[in-house]
Structure 1
Amino acid sequence: MALAKLDVVALDCADPRALAGFYAGVLGGEVETEDEGWVVLKVPDGQDLAFQKVDGYTPPEWPRADRNSQQLHLDLTVPDLDEAERGVLELGAKVLDAEDRSRTWRVYADPAGHPFCLCAS
């Protein structure tokens, strides 16, 4: 028996509303502002994501093991890697590791610098 149920995954950032807008463009859903420091993205048929304002936020560095490592990343399943890549780049993502086109996954950073992967379904 589980001791708990996962409520929400929260990402630290400098601008919660902007980062929620990025992920709404990627995943769909509705952005709900709880207060200026906490914004929730209600993802259709999925896990909600929250975005928390952190003063002095420093984005993670990928790949780094010595400092500011990624600490957490999201794997997002997509039907077409090339199409999804075009979409996330238009929304403001940056390529971190997508050169090997034979792989079934590619690594990007969201506008706040958090690594995430697009994975072929």
Structure 2
Amino acid sequence: MALAKLGAVVLDCPDPRALAGFYAELLGGTVEGDGDWADLKVPGGGSLSFQAAPGYAPPKWPAPDASQQLHLDLAVSDLEAAEEGVLALGARPLDTEDRSRTWRVYADPAGHPFCLCAC
């Protein structure tokens, strides 16, 4: 028997509403909240939350001497189209040169790494 169930994944960032808006454009859903906290309610019942972090420093990727903190793997049916879309939303490529792989790594506008994975 589990002692708990997952409520949400929370990302620290400088501007919770703006980063929630980035992920809303990427994943769909609705953004709730202002100020120091925002929630993205995604289709299917999941959620991502975003919390203001004074002095926020983005993770480094790849960096064996620094933690990437976490990353999201996002399943996509068309890797090329998804890449074009996330770049238009403000994502930054981190590891996209090997086009033979079924995944590519980007940073969101606050610097969190995430992967687009072909499904």
Q: TM-score range by the shorter chain?
A: over 0.9
Shift of 1:46: 4.7
What does residue 49 of structure 1 align with?
48
Residue correspondences, number: 119
Deviates further, 53-62 or 40-49: 40-49
What does residue 28 of structure 2 align with?
28
Q: Distance in 2 between matches of 1:5 and 1:78?
A: 26
Q: Distance in 1 between matches of 2:38 and 2:15?
A: 10
Gaps (5+ residues) in structure 2?
none
What CA deviation, in whole Å up to 9, does each residue of 1:51-76 have, x standing for no partner?
A: 00001100001011212x21200000
Gaps (5+ residues) in structure 1?
none
Which residue type is aligned with residue 116 of structure 1?
Answer: F
What does residue 37 of structure 2 align with?
38
What does residue 107 of structure 1 align with?
105
Q: State TM-score, norm by structure 1.
A: 0.96
Among all aligned residue pairs of Structure 1 and Structure 2, give the percentage whose two residues are the same amino acid: 71
Q: State TM-score, norm by structure 2.
A: 0.97
What CA deviation, in whole Å up to 9, does each residue of 1:1-53 have, x standing for no partner?
A: 111100000000000010000000000000000x4101000001152000000
What CA deviation, in whole Å up to 9, does each residue of 1:78-102 have, x standing for no partner?
A: 0000000000000000000011111
The root-mean-square deviation of aligned C-alpha atoms, in Å, is: 0.8
